[in-house]
Amino acid sequence: MSVRQTSKIVLAWDLLGQTVPKGRVAEHVGVNRRTIIRWNQGILKAQGIENFLDLYLTAKKGEREKRKVDPILKRRIWRIREENNNCCGQKIKYFLEEDYNINLGTTTIYKVLSEKYKLRTKWKKNQKRGPVPKAGKSREVIQMDTVDFGELFAFTAVDIYSKEADVVLRPSLEAKDGQAFLHTTMERRYDKHSDLIQTDGGSEFKAEFKQDVGLYCNRHRYARPYKKNEQSYIESFNRSLRKECLGWIKYKKGQIPYLTTEVNNWLVYYHYRRPYIGLGMKPPLIKV
């Protein structure tokens, strides 16, 4: 700790004693106003500036002890990853909150994962995956995705040519939910077939979903990670779903029946009433 910094603390305390406003004190000594508040609170708690300076200087000596993650929590994080198809840190965070009521930052989760696993993308750099799919007719390309709404998730799909879309609400973000969504939306909305179905690489689109996706398409393609333009149609639809229907609220699982009705009503509006710019200001299912 430099002498200059301790001098700032002494000067700040002296000015505060003269009832100078904290903002003015901060400007005078060259620190943030919040720092002045912390110093003031610390001096009062230490019952004097001398005691506070002793504690302050002692705390600044040597390296600080690194925060440690409980070994039981580490094993829990590793187990969640292995039980959920090597899922990402964001999904591990979700499962920790869902199953154990533990709120842990994704940065910490990735640090724990790096102790046991070699973390890197499954996709090789510059791996060729073919051109971004385009469509010249309905049912040629369908993009699928998910939207997080707290304790429930919206599984979404859109035909990139006709813009016909669908939404299924599910209570969790697992491959079995993706499988249920796949069967529901393809059978009720997309005539049970598409030339290509494209998803991101989330675990909800693997395992059971991947097992059945071939029943409804000639090819299943994973969009390249961090390439938002490859999922631009479904990303645009997801924004509309939030803005015009469900918002940015976190919902409870018990609200699924009510919200499903709300979503279905909005889909009627979306398909038959809402003008779509890319379709010449016509709703997706209005034939002219």
pLDDT digit string, tens, across residues 222-237:
998 777 688 999 999 9
pTM of the model as a whole: 0.56
Q: Where are the beta strands (DSSP E) in the chain?
A: 141-148, 153-159, 165-170, 194-199, 217-222
Assigned token pair, 227 = 């390439």
CA dist., res. 216 & res. 196, Å (int): 9
CA dist., res. 281 & res. 288, Å (int): 12
3-state SS of 130-197 is CCCCCCCCCCCEEEEEEEECECCEEEEEEECCCCCEEEEEECCCCHHHHHHHHHHHHHHCCCCCEEEE
With H, G, I as helix, E, B as strand and everything else as coil, classify residue 251.
strand
CA dist., res. 173 & res. 156, Å (int): 13
CA dist., res. 182 & res. 198, Å (int): 12
Average pLDDT value for residue range 159-185: 95
> pLDDT confidence of 165, banded at 50, 70, 90?
very high
The reported pLDDT for the residue numbered 127 is 52
Whether the predicted pLDDT of 276 surpasses 50: yes
Of 47 and 59, more confident: 47
Assigned token pair, 178 = 């993706």
Total residues belonging to the chain: 288
The reported pLDDT for the residue numbered 88 is 80
